[in-house]
Amino acid sequence: MLKISDLYVAYGGIEAVKGISLEVPDGAIVTLIGANGAGKSTTLRTICGLVKPKSGSISYLGEEITNVPTEQLVKKGITLVPEGRRVFPDLTVEENLKIGAYLRSGEDLTEDFKWIYDLFPRLKERSWQPAGTLSGGEQQMLAVGRALMGHPKLMMMDEPSLGLAPLVVQGIFDIIKEVHKQGVTILLIEQNANMALRIADYGYVLETGVITMDNTGAALLSNEEVRAAYLGKKRK
Amino acid sequence: MKKSTKYVCSLAVAVIAVALLFALDANKTGAGMLISILQKSAILAVVAVSMNLLNGFTGLFSLGQAGFMSIGAYITAILTIPVKNLDGVYYMSGIAPWLRALKEGMEASPSWLQAIYPFLAMIVGALVAAGFAALIGIPVLRLKSDYLAIATLGFSEIIRAIFSSPQMDQITNGSYGLNKVPTFPSVFGLPSLFTPFIVAAVSIALLVLLINSTYGRAFKAIREDEIAAEAMGINLFRHKEWSFVISSFFTAIAGGLLAMFMRSIEAKTFSITLTYDILLIVVIGGLGSVTGSVLSAFIVTASKEWWLRFFDQPLIIGGWQVPLFRTGFRMVIFSLLLMIVVLFYRQGLMGNKEFTWDGLARFFRKLGKKPAQAKGGAEG
């Protein structure tokens, strides 16, 4: 579905991503794990058109999308759930969701609201509340719901577990699985390698802008090096 | 509160307002002060609401209002001054021949067309202002917060300098300004006193429709979080540009009204202090509240021009003259009030909420309960 080949991204003189290639097959959950500064977010932002790449190509459903503006990508079905949730704090939950469907304005959204509220009953209870008054976990639900309102085919999530309590993180990953069941392909970026690899079909390990390993989620999870570097297990 | 009750309340307020205007019209000489304050308030309300669209709803801190108002005011004035007064107005350098020809042509047109000229003049002024906004928006709207404010402020000062420059003598009459601008034309056969209120009401209604549309929601999303808004597929630049252009359009309409209200304009009127006055109204009313801006336009204008006037007169209590009560003291008190608002009541009158009858009823209920230790019940 999404294919990145030999992508280089630089901020000024500093190269954040140094020639990575990866592939997200249709209907899969693919995860990109790595420490701070490995270039995970940069990769996502480049796919979204928020940052221009230095070289390399990104294609989506066989179509070149390397320098396509964000707006067009959203229309094509690629949606980003940004890092740190970024809900619109002074707007109500319902308004937030409506903005998610911005490019489909004019259409009847009753069905979509029903879908989202079935998925997240908590949001329905709070539909009139300003989003800024929700808890972190609820805000993450809202961010996911808002992205779903645009009917994405590919949903990219930037560290959805950031700053959430372990119990809430579990809930968020359940949501990701649920969304995936609804037929959305997911590209997940995480520092919480344990959780991410557990639900992922395929995983890539990113280190200082280079992909050092890639394998199925389960294989990476049992890989000695990954366990040592990201899961806090001692080498034997 | 029941829906029908709310309609009755709103209708009652509208009827009272219209009745008041008719009463004022019948007693023009006695109520001159009140009329001019109400008219000025209505005009400033339009500017305040359009400034709020930009600053409060889209989150773009712009200080170019005076510049756009001056474009609207000058164009309206130039187009409406009657030909017979031209020589008196442009007594220094004369009027440019092409402009005179244009105006003579206008006066030769059929009378039904002449009746709508003042409105056409306002719209032309507004369109020119909107065109300028679109042009300068391209470079300027890429800037953020303070930088945007400085850039728009600079633009406004440039416009003012151009209008008062000697090179423009034959068009804007340079630093002498324009006078003998005809007063408000009448609409729908109503007294001309009604015109500023009708134009203001229509402008504000259009702005409210815009704010409540999908576009308006996108503006708010940009205000709240640009990155998230962009990720939702909202084109940041296009929306900011629209907000800027529409806001400038209505600001210039208000500028045209101001020219007709004051009957004479000069470049000095449109200095930074005018923008500052409007900013005051917006902040006191509450950033992000249309009703707040309208209410505060009336309250601020009335207190500046009227209620606080007594501070300017010498006050003698029991033979002792209270010091400080002299011309200009009113402005000191006004500035103090402003500081109090900014320090202790930062959201202004309405915060970012709109006025509703429910809200008013709740407010009075709370007032009534307070002595009896109100219960902190959650409201749904």
Q: Where are the domains of chain A?
A: 2-80+150-230
B282-328 confidence digits (pLDDT tens)? 988 888 899 999 999 999 898 888 777 777 777 777 777 777 777 77
Residue A74 pLDDT > 50: yes
B322/A103: higher pLDDT: A103
Which residue on chain B is closest to A148 by alpha carbon? B232
Task: Say whether B228 and A82 touch across the interface (CB within 8 A).
Answer: yes
Q: How confident is the model at residue A233 (pLDDT cuts 50, 70, 90)?
A: low
Q: What phi and psi, each to the nearest 5 degrees, are found at residue A200?
A: -85, 145
Give the best residue of B232, B236, B289 to mutate against chain A (max A CB count within 10 A). Answer: B232
Distances (CA, A) of A120 to A104, A124, A127, A142: 21, 7, 11, 8
Count of helix runs (H) and strand runs (E) in chain A: 10, 10
Entry pTM: 0.88
Using pLDDT thresholds of 50, 70 and 90, give the confidence band for residue A234: low
Considering only residues B276 and B371, tell me which one the structure prediction assigns the higher pLDDT. B276
Q: Which domains does chain B have, with CATH numbers?
A: 31-370 (1.10.3470)
CATH architecture designation of domain A2-80+150-230: 3-Layer(aba) Sandwich (3.40)
Half-sphere exposure of B274 (CA within 13 A, CB side): 25
- Candidates A48, A102, A128; nearest CB to B234: A102
Task: Say if B212 is an interface residue toward chain A (CB within 8 Å).
Answer: no
Q: Is the pLDDT of residue B52 over 90?
A: yes
**Shortest CA distance from B232: residue in chain A:** A100
Band (pLDDT 50/70/90 cuts) for residue B379 is very low
Annotate B114-150 with b (16+ C-beta within 10 A) or e (fewer): eeebbbebbbbbbebbbebbeebbeebbeeeeeebbe
Q: Which residue of A has its CA nearest to B215?
A: A102
Could you read off the pLDDT of B339-370 as tens digits, one per residue?
Answer: 887 788 777 778 777 888 888 888 888 877 76
* Closest Cβ–Cβ partner in A69, A73, A88 for B221: A88
CB contact under 8 A, A102 and B230: no
Kindly report which listed range (A112-116, A138-142, A164-168, B322-326) carries the lowest average pLDDT score: B322-326
User: Is pLDDT larger for residue B22 or for residue B241?
Assistant: B241
Using a CB cutoff of 8 Å and minimum separation of 24, what contacts does B204-209 make? B204/B45, B204/B46, B204/B49, B204/B290, B204/B294, B206/B250, B207/B49, B207/B50, B207/B53, B207/B246, B207/B250, B207/B290, B208/B290
The ipTM value here is: 0.86
In this model, does residue B376 exceed pLDDT 50? no
Report pLDDT digits (tens) over A183-226.
899 999 988 888 899 999 999 999 888 999 899 988 888 888 88
Q: What is the mean pLDDT of chain A?
A: 88
